[in-house]
Amino acid sequence: MGDFLILGIGSISIGIVMGLLASYMLKKFRFISVSSIKETLVIFCVGYIAYAIGEMLHMSGIICLLTSGVVMAHYAWYNLSPQGKNLSSATIQVIGFGFEAFVFAYLGISFFSYIDGDWSYSFILVEMVICIVARFAGTICLLFFLAMLGHKRQLTFKEVLFCCYAGLIRGAIAFGLVLKLNKNLVRE
């Protein structure tokens, strides 16, 4: 439990410090704001540096990156020029789409490395149904809970479907992380 707390608190702290550093740089060093490319580069470099510091200190680089991104979205965004806001938003969307496509292509290609294994198609079908039903039930229950707490905005059916589908994408990321597991850690 102590290691988990140290990892969590340390990773979040690194992300907060790096996010605040980027916000400060974009606010005080106005020579960066003369070019929207420089502003976008600062955002990416600080995010990558947060990730690298987290990994070097044996913390979670992903949590560092996520935290620095949240802090930069909250503080650094308002220090960007209008052109910097547009360029950084478009660049992040393009890169995000590219990496998402890469993950799914990797999943599709890695499928063929397991083609010789024994497959239980009924088990796969049952698991898919369980995952989809559980995701929809969980999302609908959370939305109902929000309504009970007084959340005013009601989501349309399309928005609820989008929320449910967005949660299913995480399976692709989990699959990629499982493949990175050290074989010595896995018990036979």
Instruction: For the chain of 188 residues, list the mean pLDDT of each consecutive stretch of 10.
Output: 86 95 90 86 92 92 91 89 90 89 81 74 88 84 84 80 72 63 53
Residue with tokens 């650094």: 76
Which distant-in-sequence residues (6+ apart) come within 8 Å of 104 by Cβ? 172
What's the pLDDT at 120?
82
In the structure encoding, which two tokens stand for residue 91, read together? 């660049």
What's the pLDDT at 181?
60
State the Cα–Cα distance between residues 53 and 165, nearest whole angstrom.
Answer: 33
Helices (H) then strands (E): counts for the chain: 7, 0
Which SS3 state, helix, strand or coil, does residue 35 take? coil
What's the pLDDT at 23?
92
What angle is formed at CA 135 by the lines to CA 133 and CA 136, rounded to 5 degrees?
Answer: 65
What's the pLDDT at 160?
79
What's the pLDDT at 171?
64
Which SS3 state, helix, strand or coil, does residue 116 take? coil
What's the pLDDT at 131?
82
For 29, list phi and psi in degrees, rounded to 5.
-95, 85
Helices (H), 57-81: 61-74
Based on its alpha-carbon atoms, the radius of gyration of the chain, rounded to whole angstroms, reads: 21
What's the pLDDT at 68?
94
What's the pLDDT at 188?
46
* pTM (whole model) above 0.75: no
What's the pLDDT at 90?
92
What's the pLDDT at 168?
65
